[in-house]
Each structure stands twice: as structure tokens, then as C-alpha cells.
Amino acid sequence: MKNYIQQRQLIFFNGNNIKLSIYFIWVSIFCSLLYSCDSFVDVDLPTSQLTGNTVFENKNTANAALVNVYAQIRDNGLITGKPTGISNLLGNYSDELTFYGTDSNAAKDFYNNTIIASNTTIAGWWNNTYKQIYAANAVVEGVSNNTKLIESDKNQLLGEALFIRALLHFYLANIYGNIPYITITSYQTNAVVSKKPVSEIYSEVINDLQKAISLLPSNYITSGRVRPNKSAAQALLARVYLYDNRWELAEQTASLLINNTNLYPWESNIDKVFIKESTSTIWQLMPSTAGKNTDEGNLFVFTSGPPPLVALNNELFKAFSSDDLRKTHWIKSVTNGTLTWYHANKYKQKSPTGTSVEYSIIMRLEEQYLMRAEARVHLNKLEEAKEDLNKIRNRAGLQNTTTTTTENLLQAILNERKLELFTELGHRFFDLKRTANLDNFLSGTKPGWNTTDRLFPIPDSELRVNPNLLPQNDGY
């Protein structure tokens, strides 16, 4: 067995809420099991118990604590590629996926838009994500109070932890609306925490990302683009600015990545976008073991019908023109001789291979072009916006857009995001929500859709143990 670090993190929860306390940190990470020869860190340490302070006095053990957070993000919570993640469930919730699973499968309530406040998946999203935020905060506090790490190592660790904290709060705010922004590990404070308006959450996210950008290096510290760099924080910041209607800042920040052609040269081959070496990838998560590929591929790819869990919505498939390369390269049909179904084929590997060939992409360059296009329309830079939009269209084998008006161009960009980013981390749901189009697109196609479904309920288990989280979101 390869070298491993054994540290164990003991966290106590009261009533499954975000009341968090830590008595000692021992973090358990088995590099040979999680990352094998592609491990983030390669260290030689004996099996030992490490107190919370000791973990952050050594670069290797501090790195291991942070790597464990990425493993938790990959395997649990909102942005996992497993069936419980938002790529699947928000795809069912909106108009991307059709559900074929059993009545007991959690996705059914999402597909039927029948979520209630006691839904265990909703509670799992909340609890797992706040656990990950707590772990990031433990890194922030441990590294900030440490005097034994050299400055560059402290900056890297602190920058990554702040990036994680910002990323997870951003997703929580777009799912639940007003939420707590947790920045400390104090049990007493977190036990009675109150919600903040989304506008304040965005301000906190922006503040954390700006700090992260100042701390993180321009280049990646490991191969595979699995540890965030300065560009990853800039990519998320551009998205936050776009969601917050801060068009000029969104344009400027997206341009920083688009213009960084040394690190992110345009990937012209559509078949290379979702391989682990893709030059358009800004940040991705490594599979848990050597030879394993993505959870998304395992989830979405099926080889016989009817589909075991989900298939692409037929209307989504029809939205692609016949000459769109994404229709033939990123979608695959499966037939039983009578019926035909379609599945996302961005990630093509359902099973392990000798060496992992696909990692789970969290952010990629193409989104930056689409965000900048949208921001430029709002800034009345229509020709420049069309150039960005055409960059995406041309790679898909499509001609330049003929759209000329502001309103039509915004709709064209929304449609292009639908075709480019389908089944990726809930982009479709978030796009319809932030552009006030949820009712326009879903009320006629989703029988259970209600206007209040734009937000998910705060888990009722949380409201019972912390009344400061009241009121519950409308409709629940």
C-alpha cells in the first residue's frame, strides 16, 4: 500500500444541523485508496494522532486536510457527480432529463416537482455542504494561526480554503435563497446562526474570492488542474458578477481567463473538451481511484433501454439542429428496436479504464465566453457579444448568429447555454432562475411546477433546532 496520512476529523452534530464543534482533528486520508498514483500529495508519514494545531504545522499534513475536503466535495453534497448531485437532480427538476427510475428513487420527487421540507436529499445537500464549509474554515483558522509554515504554503492553503468556502456558499444561496454564511468553527456561534440576504451572501463570496485571487498562484501546483489556481477563483468571481447583474465586472473578469491563452488555449476539437487533459478545463475533480472515470459518466451513460434512471429530455434533443456537432458527439442514442432514448455522452466512460481518462469538470473556459457575451449585451456591445457567442457556435459546426436585437441576442445566448452546458452542475436551472424564465419554460412542461419552486425548502430538521433560520421559504 502506498504512503498514506492518517488524520481523523471528529465533528459533532446536534440534530443534524450545522451546529459544529471540534475537539481534536485527526484527518483520515488514505492516498492509495483515494488517489493512487495520481495523488495530490505524496508524503512519508507514520500513522499517528495529530491534534488540530499540529495538523497545520506541517505542509504535508495541512495539504492532506485540504485534499480531504476535495474528496468530500467529489463524493457528497451538491456538486458530486453521483445521482444525489445537482447535475442529475436539477436536470430532473428543470427540463433537461426524463426520469425512468423506481418510485423509491430520490430523483422522482425532483422530476415531479413535489419536494417537501422533510425531503432527506434536501437535508443531505444542506448538511454535507455545511460540513465541507466547516472543514474549509478549519483550514482557514489552522493555517492563519500557524507560524511554522512558509508564506507561500500558507498562501496556497488559505487561498484554496477561501475559494472552497465561497464556491459552496454560492451554490447554497442559489438553491435555498437566504442562508447563513459560516466563516468560523465556533460551536456556540454556529448553533444560533441567522440567515443573510442573498445580496449579502454574494458580497461575502466576492470578498472571499478576491482574497483567494490575491493568495493563489497563477499556475497549477499539481498536474491535472485538480487544485484551484488564481484563474479558478477568477472564473467563479466572473459567474458571481454575472448572477449579480454587475455586467462590467463580469466582462472584465471573464476576459482575464479568455485572454490567458498560454494557460487556456482554445480547444477546437469538440471530442477533447471532456478528457482530463482538455486545455479548456479551469478546475476539475480527480476520481477516487486510479483507473476510475467520472461519476457523471457512470450515471448518465446507459447501453440498453429502458434507461435505468434518467435519459435526456426528448425536447432537449430536438433543440439541437441536425448540423450541430454537439448532437452527434455529446449525445448518444439507445434503442430497443421499438423505442429510442438519448443520454448525455460528454463523459463517455461508464466504467474504469486502465488509466483514468476523464475527470469531473467543475469549470471550463466555454462558460466564460458565454458569460462575457451576456454581459456585453447588457453593456450594449452587441457585435462583441456576437463574437463570443459565435466562438461557441462555430466549434459546434454552426454558422454565425444572425440575431441583431438586444432581446433576441439574450435569448440566443440563453439557448446556447442550454445546448453547451446541459447536464453540467445545474446550469440550466440556475440560468432560467436568474433570468426570470423559470415559469416561462417550466410551467407548461412540468405539471407539478409552481412559481415558489424557484427555491428549495430549508430542511425542517434545521428549523426545529435553530429558529433563527426561520422563516421557511414560500411554498413549503
- Cα 67 from Cα 45, distance rounded (Å): 16
- Residue 303: inside a domain: yes
pLDDT for res 196: 98
**pLDDT above 50 for 399:** yes
247 lies in the same domain as 320 = yes
Same domain, 388 and 449: no
Q: Does a structural domain hold residue 471?
A: no
In a domain, residue 138? The reply is yes
> pLDDT band at 55, cuts 50/70/90?
confident
In our burial notation (b when 16+ CB lie closer than 10 A, e otherwise), range 142-167 reads bbeebeebeeebbbbbbbbbbbbbbb
Residue 3 has pLDDT above 90, yes or no: no
- pLDDT greater than 70 at residue 20: no
CB 113 within 8 A of CB 132: no
Does the pLDDT value for residue 44 go beyond 60?
no
Check whether residue 30 and residue 140 sit in a common domain. Answer: yes
Q: Kindly state whether residues 158 and 268 are assigned to the same domain.
A: no
Q: Based on the fold, state whether residues 212 and 66 are members of the same structural domain.
A: yes
**What pLDDT, in 10s, does the model give residues 322-335?**
999 999 999 999 99
Looking at every residue in the chain, the average pLDDT score rounds to 90
Answer whether residue 226 is part of any domain. no
355 or 41, greater pLDDT: 355
Domain end, chosen from 425, 441, 469, is at: 425
Q: 237 lies in a domain?
A: no
Q: What is the pLDDT of residue 54?
A: 79
157 occurs within a structural domain: yes
- My answer on whether 432 and 420 are in the same domain is no
Q: Residue 5's domain spans which residues?
A: 1-216+428-456
Residue 222 resides in a domain:
no
The predicted pLDDT at position 105 comes to 96
Neighbouring C-beta atoms of residue 441, cutoff 10 Å: 18
Residue 171 and residue 131 share a domain: yes
Low-confidence winner among 29-33, 217-221, 309-313 (lowest mean pLDDT): 29-33
Q: What is the pLDDT of residues 91-146, one digit of tens each?
A: 999 999 999 999 999 999 999 999 999 999 999 999 999 999 999 999 999 999 88
Look at 280 and 54; give whichever has higher pLDDT: 280
The per-residue pLDDT for 28 is 41
C-alpha closest to that of 248 among 384, 438, 131: 384
**pLDDT tens-place string over residues 191-242:** 899 999 999 999 999 999 999 999 999 999 999 999 999 999 999 999 999 9
pLDDT of residue 53: 65
* pLDDT of 145: 87
pLDDT at 295: 98
pTM for the model stands at 0.91
- Decide if pLDDT at 16 tops 80: no
Residue 473 within a domain: no
Q: Which of 404, 425, 446 is the last residue of a domain?
A: 425
Question: Domain check: are 449 and 391 in the same one?
Answer: no
Burial class (CB within 10 angstroms; exposed 0-12, middle 13-18, buried 19+) of 361: buried
**Same domain as 157, residue 299:** no
Q: d(Cα 470, Cα 163) in Å, to the nearest integer?
A: 28
Give the pLDDT of residue 57.
87
One domain, residues 204 and 86: yes
List pLDDT tens digits, range 401-457: 999 999 999 999 999 999 999 999 999 999 999 999 999 999 989 989 999 999 999
Please state the domain count of the chain: 2
- Please check whether residues 206 and 258 belong to one and the same domain: no
**In CATH, what number is assigned to the domain containing residue 256?**
1.25.40.390
Give yes or no: residues 403 and 443 share one domain.
no
